[in-house]
């Protein structure tokens, strides 16, 4: 089923026209104009793992529960399409970074019931196991780092000696992870491309891979695939001060997205992930 037909079936509305939207890497996405002039955003389910769009919709709704966090509203979800509120794109203003920092702090301090989530998720096309664990080090190693390491090694994107390094890291992680914190409600895939700026310069959080985790992982990814301005952290800490040593831990938490990229894209990401393992293990 084409995207226009999928949207029409999901909403019970006639589609007037569609226009491709860039930025997505795993699915067709479009700006869709409906009869009556309403505009929505739609993503195709064609070729995606079963259940991915349902999980994305659930994640958006979970983040949207937090007051003051801008997340596009879910209008419909079927196996063929995810339809969201259209947010007209704009450009950042002098206030955008501050707004992003405050929104992230509000999201994280809203908390989560556990380290994990009530369903498994996806990051890109990769399955994320979200079975709860007793603490953050156990969750991060067993639900994220060890499975990703195995996939990366199996795909030839990572040196097999990484397995032993993960074992050593697991033993050291309780001491490396910083002061214990309660589970935060994290976006989970917070690179700069998943911060959408509207015409007023307000940042919106899109394409999440959420779960209950350590709040520093969102900041780590934001710093890995982008250069957030100092106002982001300054505004964040006005709402929720970070634990001492958080900057020193950013590279540690960047291990997860580096492994994801090694599995997905190969290239030099495996070597970068191994360098992080060697540094901390």
Task: Please tell me the distance from the alpha carbon of residue 64 to that of residue 62, in angstroms, as a whole number.
Answer: 5
Structure tokens, 257: 């997205």
Q: How far apart are CA 191 and CA 227, in angstroms?
A: 10
262: left (phi over 0), alpha (psi -120 to 50) or beta: alpha
CB-CB contact of 218 with 208 (8 Å): no
Catalytic one of 97, 189, 207, 218 = 189
Whether residue 133 contacts residue 116, with contact meaning beta carbons closer than 8 Å, is answered with: yes
Q: Kind of pairing, strands 39-44 and 29-34?
A: antiparallel
Rounded to whole angstroms, the Cα distance separating 190 from 220 reads 9
Eight-state DSSP code of residue 141: I
118 belongs to the catalytic site: no
Catalytic positions are: 189
């Amino acid at each position: 089923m084409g995207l226009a037909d999928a949207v029409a079936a999901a909403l019970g509305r006639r589609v007037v026209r569609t226009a491709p939207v860039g930025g997505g890497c795993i699915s067709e996405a479009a700006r869709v104009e409906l009869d009556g002039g309403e505009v929505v955003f739609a993503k195709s389910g064609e070729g995606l793992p079963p259940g991915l769009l349902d999980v994305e919709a659930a994640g958006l709704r979970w983040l949207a529960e937090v007051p003051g966090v801008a997340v596009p509203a879910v209008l419909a979800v079927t196996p063929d399409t995810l339809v969201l509120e259209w947010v007209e794109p704009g450009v950042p203003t002098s206030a955008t970074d501050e707004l992003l920092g405050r929104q992230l702090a509000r999201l994280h301090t809203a908390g989560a019931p556990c380290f994990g989530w009530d369903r498994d998720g996806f990051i890109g096309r990769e399955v994320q196991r979200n079975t709860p664990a007793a603490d953050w080090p156990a969750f991060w190693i067993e639900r994220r780092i060890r499975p990703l390491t195995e996939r990366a090694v199996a795909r030839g994107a990572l040196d097999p000696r990484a397995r032993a390094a993960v074992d050593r890291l697991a033993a050291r992680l309780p001491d490396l992870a910083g002061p214990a914190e309660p589970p935060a409600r994290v976006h989970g895939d917070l690179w700069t491309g998943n911060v959408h700026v509207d015409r007023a310069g307000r940042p919106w959080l899109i394409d999440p891979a959420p779960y209950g985790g350590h709040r520093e992982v969102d900041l780590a990814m934001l710093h890995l695939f982008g250069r957030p301005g100092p106002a982001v952290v300054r505004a964040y800490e006005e709402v929720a001060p970070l634990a001492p040593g958080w900057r020193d831990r950013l590279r540690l938490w960047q291990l997860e997205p580096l492994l994801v990229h090694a599995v997905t894209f190969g290239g030099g990401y495996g070597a970068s992930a191994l360098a992080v393992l060697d540094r901390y293990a």
